[in-house]
Structure 1
Amino acid sequence: MISAQAWADARRVWDYHQMGHTARPCSVAIGLGSHDLGVADTAVRLYERGMAPLLVFTGSNSPTTRERMPRGEAVHYRERAIELGVPGSAVLVEPRARNTGENIRFSRALLEESGIDVSSVLLISKPYEERRSYATARKLWPEVEFVSASTPMTFDGYLDSIGDARLVIDMLVGALQRLLIYPDQGFMIRQAVPDDVMAAYERLRDGGFTSRIVPVGAATHS
């Protein structure tokens, strides 16, 4: 059973992970690889709205995507975008990245090698990864302006799409823990965490929602 307090805390943490940015035209859109093809769908919708003339999909594989996306996350994202009508010439693939830091660094290198001038990036991630992705990108590519985006979705809608409430709450807790510890490891910029969000995080963590927690002292960016 998940208590009423835990539900309320999870919603508070979910809301914090949303950056609340308004999409606007950028030099390029970068879709971060994951198990969620919705990232590709959202990238296509933004492309169709004229928010970016070029899409970059980045990501190799993880244990959770190897079977579902055997050709790699970025390749499957590109195939999805083309299936939805985006011309192949408007899609670049970065197929090696295995974590958020590599997503940003390798995408930046690909764009530089391709001779594409970038002053702003529409950064597309899973809904609960918006803030973490933004903080990482700002650290690794500080001279570029980032606008965060994800599939518009409520907390309840995301729960329904995943079908495992405890796993979703674990992911929310894990993402927030990384926002707290990774700045000290040089992986991302530090962002203020409101007291009520911090209290909600601590109650969830102490309540056992810890399967996505990074061991204290671990210097891995995943």
Structure 2
Amino acid sequence: MISASAWSDIELLWEFQQMHHEPHPCSVGIGLGSHDLGVADVAVDLYHRGLIPLIVFTGATSRTTQARMPRGEAEHYRERALDLGVPSAAVLVEPYARNTGENIEFSRQLLAERGVVVSSALIVSKPYEERRAYATACKVWPGIEIVSASARMTLAEYVDSIQDVHLVIDMLVGAQQRLLIYPEKGFMVRQEVPEVVTAAYERLCAAGFTSRLMSAE
């Protein structure tokens, strides 16, 4: 049972992680692989709305996705997009990335190899990883416009869609930790984090939502 105070902290992190960008036409959409096929659905919607002419789905597998996406996250995303009416010529697959930095870098390399000129990218992620994806893309791919996108839903709606509240909370806490420690490692640009958000993150760590935290080393 999650207490009301803990849920309030979770809501704080959820709100902070979202960039609230308004999607507009970009050179390409990049769907970051994960356990959530909703990322593919958002990318498909952006394509059908005419906001992106091309989608790159990027991702290998992880401990979260190995069983449910045995052919790789990007490949399962591609299959979803084709089922939803996106032509195969409008979908590229990058099947090797195992973290967000690799998602962006390997997608960048793939697009360069295909001769695609990119001045802007819609980065599609899970709702609670918008800011992490944005900060990473700004670091890895400077010189282009980065726009964050995800499914528009509340935390409660998202938890209901995933059907695993502890997975969502642990992943959200892990995303927040990375915002705090990754800039010093050179993995992303620094984001200003309000003290109330950091305090909420620390309380959730103390409450045991720690399975997605990185080692302190």
TM-score between both structures, scaled by the size of structure 2: 0.97
Q: Distance in 2 between matches of 1:63 and 1:213?
A: 14
> Could you give the per-residue CA deviations for residues 106-142 of structure 1, whole angstroms, max 9, x where no partner exists?
0000000100100000000011111111111100001
Q: Does 1:127 align with 2:139?
A: no
Q: Does 1:8 align with 2:8?
A: yes
Question: Offset at 1:202?
Answer: 1.4
Q: Secondary structure at the match of 2:128?
A: helix
> Could you give the per-residue CA deviations for residues 69-125 of structure 1, whole angstroms, max 9, x where no partner exists?
221111111111111111111111111111111100100000001001000000000
Question: Offset at 1:165?
Answer: 2.2
Q: Distance in 2 between matches of 1:96 and 1:167?
A: 24
> Could you give the per-residue CA deviations for residues 167-214 of structure 1, whole angstroms, max 9, x where no partner exists?
322211111011000111110011000121111111111222111111
Gaps of 5+ in 1: 218-222
Q: Distance in 2 between matches of 1:84 and 1:164?
A: 25
Alignment correspondent of 1:114: 114
Alignment correspondent of 1:162: 162
Q: Match of 1:139, as an amino acid?
A: K
Question: Offset at 1:21?
Answer: 0.3
Alignment correspondent of 1:220: none
Q: Secondary structure at the match of 2:92?
A: strand
TM-score between both structures, scaled by the size of structure 1: 0.95
Q: Secondary structure at the match of 2:121?
A: strand
Question: Offset at 1:6?
Answer: 0.5
Q: Distance in 1 between matches of 2:158 and 2:75?
A: 24
Question: Offset at 1:157?
Answer: 0.6
Gaps of 5+ in 2: none
Q: Percent identity?
A: 67
Q: Does 1:76 align with 2:64?
A: no
Question: Offset at 1:163?
Answer: 2.2
- Give 4+ residue runs of structure 1 displaced > 6 Å after superposition: none
Q: Distance in 2 between matches of 1:10 and 1:42?
A: 23
Alignment correspondent of 1:189: 189
User: What pairs with 1:1-222 in structure 2 (closer than 5 Å)?
Assistant: 1-217=1-217
> Could you give the per-residue CA deviations for residues 137-173 of structure 1, whole angstroms, max 9, x where no partner exists?
1000011111000111110011112223233222111
CA RMSD of aligned residues (A): 1.0
Q: Secondary structure at the match of 1:12?
A: helix
Q: Distance in 2 between matches of 1:62 and 1:170?
A: 15
Q: Match of 2:129, as an amino acid?
A: E
Q: Distance in 1 between matches of 2:127 and 2:27?
A: 22
Deviates more, 1:100-109 or 1:65-74: 65-74
Q: Distance in 2 between matches of 1:101 and 1:77?
A: 19
* Number of residues of Structure 1 aligned to a counterpart in Structure 2: 217
Q: Match of 1:95, as an amino acid?
A: P
Instruction: Identify if the C-alpha distance between structure 1 residues 151 and 211 changes in structure 2 by more than 3 Å, giving closer, same or farther.
Output: same
Q: Match of 1:161, as an amino acid?
A: S
